[in-house]
Structure 1
Amino acid sequence: MSAAEWKKRCEAEWGMRGSLMPDSVDWKFVCEAKPLGRNLLRNPAPHGLSKDAPPPEPELPEMPSDGPPRFQPDGDFSGWTTSTEVLPYDTSGIPPGAMICALPQYSWFSMEQVVDLKAEGLWEELLDDFQPEIVIQDWYEESQLHKSIYQLHVKLLAADKSTVISEHTVNPTEDLSTYSHTWKEVSHVFSGYGPGVRYVSFLHRLKNKFLNGFFPTLFTGSSVIVKPTKTSY
């Protein structure tokens, strides 16, 4: 197809006209990339789990681990930049002179992706003038390992990757009095964020515990979706 035909195809698919659809854009690339309405994150479920099925019950070890402590869960984390922060032992609440056999050791496992919106097929006029909704979603396991087991920090970044145009942070506190062991949804919609957005930084951290065995907090269904809609100008 010609460049004009590719443009008409995109216009028909998303219902956009005028200055939002300049001839300077590579409409063949945009139409084939299909950047609107699809998940722009790579490998959104590294543990191979689905939010439509309950999280697996933790396996209790028959014997204490005789190896070094573990702080990173199993999974295929390709597409993610990962890091681990081992936390110091929490000895608060232990009376002086008490004999301690073992204490749990906690760690944060961090996973980040930075989405290049233009490389995914979005174009400057759409991002700057129309400012479509950018929808964030994530699901984490209610592992009840600790009162704080999940954190999310999403930033909309300018072309220099350091200027933050908008951001959203989630740091929930868990109710440890009731055991439900379900997936918990986290979501947010960015709208009316202003011009200049070129990247989305998606960073979440999940807490793990080591005590005679390794117990992770799992996640699935992470997504960054740009929708051909907007809620404000």
Structure 2
Amino acid sequence: MSAAEWKERCEAEWSLQGAPMPDGLDWKSVYEARPLGRNFLKNPAPHGLSAETPPPEPDLPEEPDRGPPRFQPDGDFTGWTTDIEVLPYDSSGIPAGAMVCALPQYSWFSMEQIVDLKAEGLWDELLDEFQPEIVIKDWYEESQLHKSIYQLHVKLLAADKSTVISEHTVSPTEDLSEYSHIWKEVSHVFSSYGPGVRYVHFVHRLKNSFLNGFYPTLFTGSSVTVRAVKSSQ
């Protein structure tokens, strides 16, 4: 097909009527990249789990784990940059003079990715003038290890990767009064964020616990997608 025909195909299939579509772009390459509606995050389910089925029940050991503490869950984290923050023991709720045999030790396991929107097939005029919606989704396990087990921080960055144009933070508090071992969805839509966005910085943290065994908080279905919807609508 000709360049004009590839351009028309992109416009029709992605409902881009009204969006800036400069003639200078290689529309065949843009079409083959399929940047709209595709998940830009790599390896969105490192534990091999799906939010369509319940999270697995914790594997309770028959005997206490007498080895060194663990702080990182099992999984293939290819595509993610990971980090571990081991937290100090929390003895705030222990009465004075009480004898304590053992306390759980918690850690935050952080995973992050930076999405290059132009490398994924989007173009300057679309991001700056049309400003399509940028949709964030994630699922985390209600592990009930602690009242705070999940944090999400997403930033829309300029071309220098340091200027923050827009950001969204989630840090829920869990209800520990009832056992509800389910997947919890976290989502956000960036809209009307202004010109200059070129990168999406996605980072989430999940809390793990070690006490006579290792108990992680799992996640799945992380995604960053761009919808062909004008964000000012």
TM-score (norm 2): 0.97
Question: What is the identity percentage for the equivalent residue pairs of Structure 1 and Structure 2?
Answer: 81
Once the two structures are superposed, the pairs formed by residues 59-70 of structure 1 within 5 Å of their partners are 59-70=59-70
| Residue 39 (structure 2) aligns with | 39
- Alignment partner of 1:155: what SS? strand
- Alignment partner of 1:229: what SS? strand
| Residue 186 (structure 1) aligns with | 186
For 1:65 and 1:161, the matched residues in 2 are separated by: 43
| Residue 172 (structure 1) aligns with | 172
- Alignment partner of 1:31: what SS? helix
Per-residue deviation, 1:95:
2.3
Write out the 4+ residue segments of structure 1 that deviate beyond 4 Å after TM superposition: none
Call closer, same or farther: CA 1:24–1:17 in 2, change over 3 Å.
farther
Give the count of matched residue pairs.
233
For 2:19 and 2:97, the matched residues in 1 are separated by: 74
For 2:215 and 2:35, the matched residues in 1 are separated by: 37
For 1:19 and 1:52, the matched residues in 2 are separated by: 35
Superposed CA offset, 1:131-188 (max 9, x none): 0000111000000000000000000000000000000000000000011100001000
Once the two structures are superposed, the pairs formed by residues 49-64 of structure 1 within 5 Å of their partners are 49-64=49-64
| Residue 111 (structure 2) aligns with | 111
| Residue 27 (structure 1) aligns with | 27
> Structure 2, unaligned stretches of length 5 or more?
none
Per-residue deviation, 1:15:
2.9
Per-residue deviation, 1:96:
2.7
For 2:19 and 2:134, the matched residues in 1 are separated by: 21
| Residue 122 (structure 2) aligns with | 122
For 1:93 and 1:180, the matched residues in 2 are separated by: 24
TM-score (norm 1): 0.97
- Alignment partner of 1:20: what SS? coil
> Structure 1, unaligned stretches of length 5 or more?
none
Greater alpha carbon shift after TM alignment, 96-105 vs 165-174: 96-105
Opposite residue 186 of structure 2, the aligned amino acid is V
- Alignment partner of 2:83: what SS? strand
Per-residue deviation, 1:14:
1.9
1:218 partnered with 2:218: yes
Once the two structures are superposed, the pairs formed by residues 1-16 of structure 1 within 5 Å of their partners are 1-16=1-16
Q: Is the 8 A contact 2:135 2:225 kept in 1?
A: yes
Opposite residue 30 of structure 1, the aligned amino acid is V
Pairwise CA RMSD of aligned residues? 1.2
Per-residue deviation, 1:100:
1.4
For 2:16 and 2:57, the matched residues in 1 are separated by: 48
